[in-house]
Amino acid sequence: MQQQDEVFEVILIGDSGNIKRNQPDELIEMMKAHLPTKANSAIVFLGDNIYPKGLPPENDPLRADAEKVVQIYHQSVENFPGQVYFISGNHDWNKGKEDGIEYVLRQEKYIQKLFHQPDVFIPENGCPGPREINLTEDLVMIAINTQWWIQKGFRPIGAHEGCGIEHEEDFFTQLEEILERNKDKRILMIGHYPIYSYSLHGGRYKFKHHLFPLTLYKKRAYLPIPFLGSLLPLYRKYFGAREDLSHPRFKILRKRLKEIFRKYPGLIYAAGHEHNLQFIEKYQNNYIISGAASKATYVLDSKHSRFGISAKGFFKIKFYKENKAKAEAWIVEEGNKKGELVYEGWML
């Protein structure tokens, strides 16, 4: 396929909130080297945009540092002719604490003002979505707010909060309406939490995590707890901490999404959250995890995995005529601003 057939390009940057503040960051520099020079393109920040807890109040000691991260994003794309979008992750909601809505709304307003783009932060108002954006005549992007489903404290819903749904079931009804309306187009869905993952939050653990369970939280916490140590990985696999795919509240969303997605072969769902790069093909759908912008953690192999790597980097999706799409995975490579292309392949 020739280059002129390409109609749109999307760069997926996830979990970038821990980038370097006071010196050039390798990932951001690599992203800048990949910025398309054409308007028919977009950069999507897949949540956890500010570590450790989103955008705090102005009197908070972490406020200046948080602003600096967003300013780095802005400076990096100021000459980019395409569209820029942000979604929120658990860190952006003050790590899921009860006042999380205040943090995410502050971030939304700050980013809107800085980027001068009203729909830069989606879904708006901390709402669950779904939010539909037509990127081209044949390509639609649908944003959902996965954190909304597991968030403690206040969660906006209803027209009086600026949301387009009145109750949880309404979310799925509207999503199916959007998907059905766009079934002949290429569909890119974005959310912070993945649907499938062969890493930590997906309940996949290494042997060392059973023997040294504290290494789940600190890499060098090699305190052996044989037998009893397996309880923590098993709990997180089957019951789930609030950030895991097995958490009871997230299971509700995940189960319904899997059922809906299977009706639309070729759908692409892109997420962050896991600090690695994964491309999973399951039930004729494409699942991308691109959460390795500032950290890298392990990823295990599976029969449904087309690609997985523990390295800092991002995915890029190139869309072509006739609804064809190609995924590329790029990782940071010392001495090479553009990085290394470690995966390239056509999507279902």
pLDDT-based confidence at 221, cuts 50/70/90?
Answer: low
pLDDT-based confidence at 210, cuts 50/70/90?
Answer: very low
151 or 201, greater pLDDT: 151
Torsion (CA) 202, 207, 213, 219 in degrees, nearest 10: -90
199 or 190, greater pLDDT: 190
- In angstroms, the CA 269 to CA 187 distance is 8
By three-state DSSP, how is residue 5 classified?
Answer: helix
Residue 2 has pLDDT above 50, yes or no: no
Domain boundaries, the chain: 3-196+266-346
For 14, the enclosing helix (H) or strand (E) is none
Sign of CA dihedral 255, 261, 266, 272: negative
- Count the helices and strands in the chain (H runs, E runs): 8, 13
Predicted local distance difference test score (pLDDT) of residue 246 = 86
Among the ranges given (25-29, 229-233, 336-340), the one the predictor scored with the smallest mean pLDDT: 229-233
Kindly report, residue by residue over 265-285, the tens digit of the pLDDT: 999 999 999 999 999 999 999
Answer whether 16's CB lies under 8 Å from 294's CB.
yes
Cis status of the peptide bond prior to 118, with omega within 30 of 0: no
Predicted local distance difference test score (pLDDT) of residue 61 = 96
Residue 3 has pLDDT above 60, yes or no: no
Q: What angle do CA 9, 145, 318 make, to 5 degrees?
A: 10
CB count in 10 Å sphere of residue 216: 18
Kindly report, residue by residue over 62-72, the tens digit of the pLDDT: 999 999 999 99
Alpha carbon distances (Å) from 211 to 193, 201, 238, 244: 27, 18, 18, 20
Residue 233 has pLDDT above 80, yes or no: no
- In angstroms, the CA 139 to CA 323 distance is 8
Among the ranges given (160-164, 175-179, 198-202, 339-343), the one the predictor scored with the smallest mean pLDDT: 198-202
Kindly report, residue by residue over 52-95, the tens digit of the pLDDT: 999 999 999 999 999 999 999 999 999 999 999 999 999 999 99
Question: Residue with structure tokens 């059905």?
Answer: 180
Tell me what the mean pLDDT of segment 139-164 comes to: 97
pLDDT-based confidence at 218, cuts 50/70/90?
Answer: low
Predicted local distance difference test score (pLDDT) of residue 200 = 84
Alpha carbon distances (Å) from 64 to 61, 70, 330: 7, 10, 31
Tell me what the mean pLDDT of segment 244-250 comes to: 89
Written as six digits, the tokens of 101 are: 């809505």
By three-state DSSP, how is residue 293 classified?
Answer: coil
Predicted local distance difference test score (pLDDT) of residue 117 = 87
Write phi, then psi, for 190 (nearest 5 degrees).
Answer: -130, 140
Q: Which CATH number fits domain 3-196+266-346: 3.30.390.10, 3.40.50.620, 3.10.20.30, 3.60.21.10?
A: 3.60.21.10
| Mean per-residue pLDDT of the chain | 92
- Nearest to residue 180, comparing CAs of 260, 112, 234? 260
pLDDT-based confidence at 244, cuts 50/70/90?
Answer: confident
- In angstroms, the CA 178 to CA 174 distance is 6
Answer whether 320's CB lies under 8 Å from 6's CB.
yes
Half-sphere exposure of residue 295: CA atoms within 13 angstroms, side-chain side: 15
Tell me what the mean pLDDT of segment 19-23 comes to: 96
pLDDT-based confidence at 237, cuts 50/70/90?
Answer: low
Kindly report, residue by residue over 85-139, the tens digit of the pLDDT: 999 999 999 999 999 999 999 999 999 999 998 899 999 999 999 999 999 999 9
Predicted local distance difference test score (pLDDT) of residue 150 = 95
Buried b / exposed e over 290-325, threshold 16 CB at 10 Å, is: bbbbbbbebbbebeebbbbbbbbbbbbbbbbeeebb
Kindly report, residue by residue over 24-62, the tens digit of the pLDDT: 999 999 999 999 999 999 999 999 999 999 999 999 999
- The rounded percent of the chain whose pLDDT value lies above 90 is 84
Sign of CA dihedral 183, 127, 12, 254: negative
